[in-house]
């Protein structure tokens, strides 16, 4: 389904004359006297020279972009590399939501950054809560109703697998939401954890649906959260608008270098091994947790974490902290009373966690 993206973007962004940086307006070879940088001869350090740290980095590094496009089986023109997915979320919100007028839709409990980005932008947050009693499934009928009936919806955030509930958005459901959003809003499918499950990514659907945006990241399965590398996969019209708003040089040269390392050579087989380890570790932990009678609910989910419900989440979090183990407390969020999220770590880390939980159960 093709859609005119400019008709739902903020008119002032569509009308704006974008900033043109030195690296965007001229080739980056030859004698570079167009960006007020220092010459390479100034710092005599091989690493500095290798990374050309005296120079501004490429705004969208060609090799990294093409490697990512290949990895996600999409055309390069549909790829924008960002400073983590967090930046992608922020850019989408800034380009598509007019302050005080437009709205985004989310299905809580979900990733907290969607709401933060919307609030900073002055966009309304419309929540269509999940059904806690029903495995935290999204109420798709209510979601479509909200999209149809509420004014100014520009973005709909879906997460598959979702954080912190671990559930997937099925293909049929996704297409239903896409149809409901036709002509009025983008559907943003955040696939930060998709590598950990068997479900197929929706990346390739972006070629079919102009108003579908898929977010990927190197922060989870690729073991590179410190690199801050996220990927927006979208129609070139969407990518073009985001490029009007993104900082001229969003990725440090060191980050570009590290991101390439994170996905090249041995890294690919390492990633597969890691994903297999996480899955085995999660099965093992799930079995252990199922035997703990003080845990009322365990949600295994499709990502690299499990969600528990206990009588005293604060007590459990403190107990673990006393052993130097940090787990995430969600108890203050709606529908997540008593919930904590445990990330699947290394075998040693899981052994330490199980020991702490065992002792907690014996004194609880």
Ligand X SMILES: *Cc1c(COP(=O)(O)O)cnc(C)c1O
Residue 86 or 102 with smaller CB distance to ligand X: 86
Q: Which of residues 131-190 bind ligand X (CB under 6 A)?
A: 159, 163, 190
Instruction: Among 93, 160, 210, 217, indicate the residue that binds ligand X (CB under 6 A).
Output: 217
CB atoms under 10 Å from CB of 338, counted, come to 18
Q: Shortest distance, CB of residue 152 to ligand X, whole angstroms?
A: 24
Place of tokens 């130097």: 324
Residue 165 or 360 with smaller CB distance to ligand X: 165
Q: Is 111 in the site for ligand X (CB under 6 A)?
A: yes
User: Among positive and negative, which fits the CA dihedral 177, 5, 95, 251?
Assistant: positive
Structure tokens at 188: 């943003």
Q: Is 108 in the site for ligand X (CB under 6 A)?
A: no
- Dihedral pair phi/psi, residue 244, rounded to 5°: -75, -25
Residue 100 or 112 with smaller CB distance to ligand X: 112
The 3-class SS string of 328-342 reads: EECCCCCCCCCEEEE
Exposed (0-12), middle (13-18) or buried (19+): which is 183, by Cβ within 10 Å? exposed
Q: Shortest distance, CB of residue 78 to ligand X, whole angstroms?
A: 18
Identify the three-state secondary structure at position 131. strand
Place of tokens 């839709």: 105
- The answer to whether the CB of 166 falls within 8 A of the CB of 305 is yes
Residue 3 or 143 with smaller CB distance to ligand X: 143
Q: Shortest distance, CB of residue 341 to ligand X, whole angstroms?
A: 10
Q: Shortest distance, CB of residue 190 to ligand X, whole angstroms?
A: 5
Instruction: Among 22, 32, 187, 192, indicate the residue that binds ligand X (CB under 6 A).
Output: 192
Residue 190 or 271 with smaller CB distance to ligand X: 190
Identify the three-state secondary structure at position 192. coil
Give the containing element (helix H, strand E) for 125.
Answer: strand 124-127
Instruction: Among 16, 225, 268, 334, indicate the residue that binds ligand X (CB under 6 A).
Output: 225
H helix runs in the chain, sequence order: 11-15, 22-25, 46-50, 62-71, 84-96, 113-121, 140-149, 171-181, 236-245, 253-263, 267-290, 313-322, 347-363
Q: Which residue is nearest to ligand X (CB)?
A: 84
Q: Is 304 in the site for ligand X (CB under 6 A)?
A: no
Structure tokens at 230: 């996220």
Q: Per CB under 6 A, which region of 18-26, 83-91, 197-205, 273-281 contacts ligand X?
A: 83-91
Residue 232 or 316 with smaller CB distance to ligand X: 232
Instruction: Among 84, 109, 250, 338, indicate the residue that binds ligand X (CB under 6 A).
Output: 84
Please state, in angstroms and rounded to a whole number, the distance separating the CA atoms of residues 173 and 291: 34
Q: Per CB under 6 A, which region of 18-26, 116-124, 204-212, 216-224 contacts ligand X?
A: 216-224
Q: Per CB under 6 A, which region of 3-11, 101-109, 215-223, 251-259 contacts ligand X?
A: 215-223
Q: Is 320 in the site for ligand X (CB under 6 A)?
A: no
For ligand X (CB under 6 A), the number of binding residues is 13
Q: Per CB under 6 A, which region of 3-11, 71-79, 169-177, 217-225 contacts ligand X?
A: 217-225
Residue 220 or 282 with smaller CB distance to ligand X: 220
- Look at residues 144, 153, 204 and name the one whose alpha carbon lies nearest to residue 180: 144
Instruction: Among 58, 109, 166, 230, indicate the residue that binds ligand X (CB under 6 A).
Output: 230
CB atoms under 10 Å from CB of 323, counted, come to 14
Q: Is 219 in the site for ligand X (CB under 6 A)?
A: yes
Dihedral Cα 342, 270, 203, 240, nearest 10 deg: 100
Please state, in angstroms and rounded to a whole number, the distance separating the CA atoms of residues 219 and 204: 21
Contact string (CB under 6 A) for ligand X, positions 13-52, x = contact? ----------------------------------------
Interaction site with ligand X (CB under 6 A): 84-86, 111, 159, 163, 190, 192, 217, 219-220, 225, 230
């Amino acid at each position: 389904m093709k859609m005119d993206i400019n008709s739902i973007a903020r008119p002032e962004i569509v009308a704006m004359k974008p900033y043109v940086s030195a690296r965007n307006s001229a080739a980056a070879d030859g004698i570079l006297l167009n960006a007020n940088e220092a010459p390479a001869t100034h710092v005599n350090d091989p690493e500095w020279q290798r990374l050309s740290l005296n120079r501004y980095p490429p705004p969208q590094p060609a090799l990294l972009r093409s490697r990512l496009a290949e990895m996600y089986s999409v055309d390069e023109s549909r790829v924008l590399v960002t400073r983590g997915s967090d930046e992608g979320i922020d850019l989408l919100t800034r380009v598509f939501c007019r302050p005080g007028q437009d709205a985004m839709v989310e299905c809580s409990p979900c990733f907290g950054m969607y709401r933060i980005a919307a609030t900073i932008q002055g966009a309304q947050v419309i929540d269509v809560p999940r059904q806690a009693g029903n495995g935290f499934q999204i109420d798709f009928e209510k979601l479509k109703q909200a999209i149809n009936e509420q004014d100014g919806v520009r973005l709909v955030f879906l997460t598959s697998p979702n954080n912190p509930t671990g559930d997937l958005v099925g293909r049929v459901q996704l297409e239903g939401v896409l149809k409901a959003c036709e002509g009025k809003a983008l559907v943003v499918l955040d696939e930060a954890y998709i590598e950990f499950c068997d479900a197929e990514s929706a990346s390739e659907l972006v070629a079919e649906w102009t108003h579908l945006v898929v977010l990927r990241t190197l922060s989870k399965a690729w073991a590179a959260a410190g690199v801050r590398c996220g990927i927006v996969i979208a129609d070139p019209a969407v990518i073009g608008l985001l490029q009007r708003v993104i900082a001229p040089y969003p990725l440090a040269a060191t980050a570009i270098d590290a991101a390439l390392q994170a996905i090249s050579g041995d890294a690919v087989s390492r990633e597969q091994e890691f994903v297999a380890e996480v899955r085995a570790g999660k099965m093992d932990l799930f079995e252990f947790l199922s035997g703990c009678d003080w845990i009322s609910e365990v949600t295994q989910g499709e990502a690299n974490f499990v969600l528990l419900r206990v009588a005293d989440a604060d007590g459990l979090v403190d107990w673990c902290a006393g052993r130097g183990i940090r787990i995430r407390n969600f108890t203050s969020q709606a529908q997540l009373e008593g919930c904590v999220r445990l990330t699947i770590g290394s075998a040693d880390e899981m052994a330490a966690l199980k020991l702490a939980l065992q002792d907690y159960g014996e004194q609880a």
